[in-house]
Structure 1
Amino acid sequence: MPANPIRSTRLAQDPPPKHSPLVPTVVVASYKGGVGKTALTVAIAERLAWAGLRVLLLTCDSQEDARHRLGVQASDPVVARRTYGSDGSVTVLGIRGSKAVDLLYRIGPDRLGLGSFDLAVVDTPPEVQGGSLPGVLLFTPVDGTDAARNLLTMLQRTPGNTDIMLIRTGREDPADWAHNAATIERVLGRDLDFLEDPLPISKQIKQAHDAGRSVWTLPRSGITLEYLSSIDRLAQTAWERVHPRRSWPSMPSQSAAAAYVPGWDDDE
């Protein structure tokens, strides 16, 4: 007599988590690599430090490119700290998976002996779970149609209590970008924001990142100025989650160290 198969009944899935991190948190995530994610993360963290915040930068990518781009050497401690002005700092730590969740949601950096921070900034690997942390401000860079499809796959996992801001890296007509952002919003069926001006990448920006040099030391002109102005706006959005009633501190002035010639120095 044949055996009678008994199938298990599938339990209802847990609802998406509605937790919030123990320290205000910004996440920069993309399901596609090569869209300037780590460059954005480091530049935002440094700008917030220049505004006087104590920033914890978590690099969750195994390559830990964020450490190099902050000028951290291989011989430096696992937990490395850089100061900005009289009060601001960026402390960078490589951490992944459940350990990152422990730090952000279960234990907190203070109880782990890292100290107190005003805000955490998280650089994620190009994986679908990069956008799944609850209760954070999520910046999502995208650089084209294929990246937008991947982005939709990632954002479908994003909890409802996470705020999403889309960022177009590279050149695109602003009207086309606004249309594409509205399409992504409609497909997802949820409200989101987008950085209005596409974010250009200049030759000087690329060279600075490759050399582990802060982009905030570059002469502010041409495409580099456009890039830094957009980073400033993103950092201000993060600042408002920490200090909603305080004005955004201006960036210290930076005099150009070399001649700049429009048209000739605008290589992307």
Structure 2
Amino acid sequence: MRAVGAPPAHRRRGEKAESPVHVVSITSLKGGVGKTTVTLGLASAALHAGLRVLVIDLDPHADATTALAVRRGRCIDVGHLLRNARRQRLTDAVAASAWSREQRARVPGTTARLDVVPGSAYSGIFDRPDLGRRDLQRLHRLLTRDPEAAASYDLALIDCPPSLNGLTRIAWTASSGVLLVAEPALFSVAGTERTLRALDLFRREYAPGLRTAGVVANRVRQDSPEQVFRLREMERMFTSLLLRPALVDRPVLAQIQGAAHAVHHWPGADAGRAARDFDAILAGLRGHTEGSGPAEFADAATVPSVLV
């Protein structure tokens, strides 16, 4: 039994095989909303909860790889893994995060660990809008071809680039759920609305079992009347998809990332509050991804638009 809701076991004829690990793509159409920060916070929360976690860094900027203090050794990066998907195995691209060593020092005997498939600019060769179905399945095939390696993790998190081009679609094809990150600001909320519509179309054409794992409101400034207004708008638009709590804009997170540490390992009251918020988002993510069918956004004709 997986600690974080397993993908549905049933499969209709012609559907792709299920991955042995629960895979969640962290997605945002707009850059600069803290998507990688959310990925790192969830990875920290999962490690703290005793899970075996794999982070796949599909963003060509590879910021998650840097913040996770990866020791590459001889492992290849995700771009070359995808380029040579027929010849390579998932384990050829897995590197340990220094966060695991720190967690073992804090909790002797723990089985929790955090590994990373490192990002690279080379993965950008796949970030184009014209990828065919075979190319979109490259990461999924890597996860299903070596089920023993994939099943050694309880949760895989994919940090996607801020676009809906090839890399994000590769991630969605390999995933059982998609988590969207947005700031409570006009253009970010509008981008999230468009992403949900695009996700619904993608689900219908390529991945009928793909679930909408939820929407995270990030970098919320509670002293901003505009952001308070937009947050209430998000509550009306996304209803139960909006995970709680909203993640407050905390300067300490930039400091933690700069030091390449897990938020759960950082001292101080503000870091502790941030860690508890990510614990709650991880719990909410689990609730949204458990179930037997895709959690779909409302029909396009009935979605209240932020642009109206």
Aligned equivalents of 1:19, 1:176: Cα separation in 2: 43
What is the correspondence of 1:122-141 to structure 2 with a 5 Å cutoff?
122-129=158-165, 130=168, 133=172, 136-141=176-181
DSSP 3-state at the match of 1:163: strand
Task: Give me the whole-angstrom Cα distance separating, in 2, the residues matched to 1:156 and 1:18.
Answer: 22
The equivalent of 1:152 in structure 2 is 193
The one-letter code sitting in structure 2 at the alignment partner of 1:141 is V
- Alpha-carbon contact 1:103-1:112 (below 8 Å) kept: no
Partner of 2:115: 91
Q: CA contact under 8 A between 2:219 and 2:250: conserved in structure 1? A: no
Supply the AA of the counterpart residue of 1:142: A
Summarize deviations over 1:21-68 as a string: whole Å, max 9, x none. Answer: 442112111001111111111221122122222111111011211111
SS in 2 for 1:139: strand
Following superposition, the deviation at residue 242 of structure 1 comes to 9.1
- What's 1:80 paired with? 95
Q: Name the stretch that deviates more: 174-183 or 138-147.
A: 174-183
Percent identity at matched positions?
20
The residue aligned with 1:216 is: 264
Secondary structure (helix, strand or coil) at the match of 2:253 reads helix
Deviations 1:99-132 (A, max 9, x none): 7843335652735966722221110000125378
Aligned to 1:200: 248
Paired AA for residue 56 in structure 1: L
Q: 1:169-218: CA deviations, max 9, x gaps?
A: 12355974553224433xxxxx7521233212322210111221222222
Name the structure 1 match of 2:155. Answer: 119
The residue aligned with 1:68 is 66
The structure 2 residue matched to 1:41, chosen from 39, 42, 49, is 39
1:169 to 218, 243, 258: 218
**Stretch deviating more after TM superposition (225-234 or 25-34):** 225-234
Could you tell me which residue of structure 2 aligns to residue 256 of structure 1? none
Q: Secondary structure at the match of 2:70?
A: coil
Cα deviation digits, residues 121-155 of structure 1 (max 9, x gap): 11000012537826633221111111111122221
Q: CA deviation at 1:243?
A: 9.3
1:81/1:171 CA distance change after superposition, 3 Å: same
Q: 1:67 to 1:36 in 2, by over 3 A?
A: same
Alpha-carbon separation, structure 1, partners of 2:112 and 2:49: 7
Residue aligned with 2:178, SS:
strand
Whether contact under 8 Å (1:200, 1:226) holds in the other structure is no
Aligned AA (2:198): R
What residue number does 1:179 align with? 232
Given the superposition, is the C-alpha separation of residues 220 and 105 from structure 1 closer, same or farther in structure 2, using an over 3 Å criterion? Answer: farther
Q: Given the two structures, how large is their TM-score scaled by the length of structure 1?
A: 0.69
Report the CA distance shift for 1:88/1:101 in structure 2 as closer, same or farther (over 3 A). Answer: farther
**Aligned position for 1:28:** 26
Question: Could you say if the C-alpha distance between residues 142 and 136 of structure 1 is closer, same or farther in structure 2, counting changes exceeding 3 Å?
Answer: same
Q: 1:109, 1:210 → 2: CA distance? A: 36
**Paired AA for residue 196 in structure 2:** L
Change (3 A) 1:104 1:119: farther
In 1, Cα distance between the equivalents of 2:41 and 2:172?
Answer: 21
Aligned length in residues: 222
Contact 2:221 2:249 in 1 (8 A): no
Letter aligned with residue 133 of structure 1: W
Q: 1 or 2, which has the higher helix percentage?
A: 2
* 8 A Cα contact 1:71 1:212, kept in partner: yes
Describe the shift of the 1:18–1:114 C-alpha distance in structure 2 as closer, same or farther (beyond 3 A): closer
Q: CA deviation at 1:162?
A: 1.1
TM-score of the aligned structures, taking structure 2 as reference length: 0.61
